[in-house]
Amino acid sequence: MTSPRVLLSGGGTGGHIFPAVSIAQEIQKRFPDAEFMFIGALGKMEMEKVPQAGFKIEGLDIAGFDRGNILSNFKLPFRLLSSISKAKRIIRNFKPDFAIGTGGFASGPALWAASQLGVPTFIQEQNSFPGVTNKILSKKAKAVFTAYPGMESFFPNTEVKFLGNPIRQNIIDDKLAPEVAKEKLGLQNKLTILSVGGSQGSRTLNNGWKDNLDKLTEKGYQLIWQTGKLDYEVLNKNQEIQNLSSAEGQISLNEFIKDMGTAYSAADVIVSRAGAIAISELAVAVKPILLIPLPTAAEDHQTKNAQSLVDQKAAFMVKDVEMKDKFWNTLEQICENEALRKEMMVNLEKFGKPEATKQIVDEILNKTGFNHNKN
């Protein structure tokens, strides 16, 4: 059987990029000669991350609705039409056997163009509440793969499969005992907090830590702090942080963490934004979590994602507006109560779907006739 030619589109944030890359890598495992083409948005992080993963990418001049600059949105319809036209040219040249969309600015025009050209399309919906674009695209899709159960009502015109979110393979493969992971990272064997603000970083989280450095010092907790590009340079020059990083070794400051599997393993508690992929990775890592949802996320999906875990006593949540009053107290409540941490881990594990990527690829290959060499 010939190997498939696969079109993928997902980007804007790591939460859309990593699932697309994970799906591509799983298909590549089964079909080493498969051809891949990604479609992204010019100027967005996928234009850098996808080539780093070894795949080709073409960029569209597309962006989302800008709430801060209403006038700039008048160009959106023209950019959308131009992007659909360019996506069609890419698709005609590449001739994919099927197309997969994982969300982001470019995913809409890419999948719309693919469906208009008769290419079978699939959607991977990461959130508990889908956006308008995926609802529209689903009408012509062969299947929608969801991360949460009971989402059939959002996609009444197509087959819906609850399979979970694809996550980075090293999260699954690189699990270590906490003490081994801490030693690997050059950390002491004591209570360790991992703070991750998403692929772009979180100023809210960064300020939350900066405001509580005295309490962190007093308690002696160890902190693996992923700042993102946003504030890294400023924080790295902060004298108090420098002292805690070098002399005390209490803070490990990172712009970006490549080995997330080891970082998750080393953590006793994790503080994170509530993006869908972050939550899926945390559920597989199975660690107590404090979620700080991004309030500006589309349709407030991060708060909805976080609430679904809070309702099951699998996580705590502090909103941006509550950071000054509740952040440290809530974090300390988790850190100081081992029984609570164990209960949270038991409840969180139910959300874990480590086989999601393989099962999604199984479905796609079965529905497109490329179903041999199944792992």
Instruction: With cut-offs at 50, 70 and 90, classify the pLDDT of residue 40.
Output: very high
Tell me, what's the pLDDT at 287?
96
Tell me, what's the pLDDT at 170?
80
Tell me whether residue 168 is annotated as binding.
yes
Q: What digits encode the pLDDT tens for the residues 235-282?
A: 888 888 888 886 567 999 999 998 899 999 999 999 999 988 889 999
Tell me whether residue 257 is annotated as binding.
yes
Tell me whether residue 118 is annotated as binding.
no
Query: What HEC string does the chain produce?
Result: CCCCEEEEEECCCHHHHHHHHHHHHHHHHHCCCCEEEEEEECCCCHHHHHHHCCCCEEEECCCCCCCCCHHHHHHHHHHHHHHHHHHHHHHHHHCCCEEEEEECCCHHHHHHHHHHCCCCEEEEECCCCCCHHHHHHHCCCCEEEECCCCCHHHCCCCEEEECCCCCCHHHHHCCCCHHHHHHHCCCCCCCEEEEECCCCCCHHHHHHHHCCHHHHHHHCCEEEEECCCCCHHHHHCCHHHHHHHHCCCCEEEECCCCCHHHHHHHCCEEEECCCHHHHHHHHHHCCCEEECCCCCCHHHHHHHHHHHHHCCCCCEECCHHHHHHHHHHHHHHHHCCHHHHHHHHHHHHCCCCCCHHHHHHHHHHHHHCCCCCCC
| Cα(26)–Cα(33) distance, integer angstroms | 13
CATH-assigned architecture of domain 170-349 = 3-Layer(aba) Sandwich (3.40)
Tell me whether residue 13 is annotated as binding.
yes
Kindly report the pTM of this predicted structure. 0.80
Q: What digits encode the pLDDT tens for the residues 221-232?
A: 999 999 988 888
Tell me whether residue 199 is annotated as binding.
yes
Task: State in words which class domain 5-167+354-368 has.
Answer: alpha beta
Tell me whether residue 127 is annotated as binding.
yes
- In the chain, CATH 3.40.50.2000 covers 5-167+354-368, 170-349
Tell me, what's the pLDDT at 374?
47
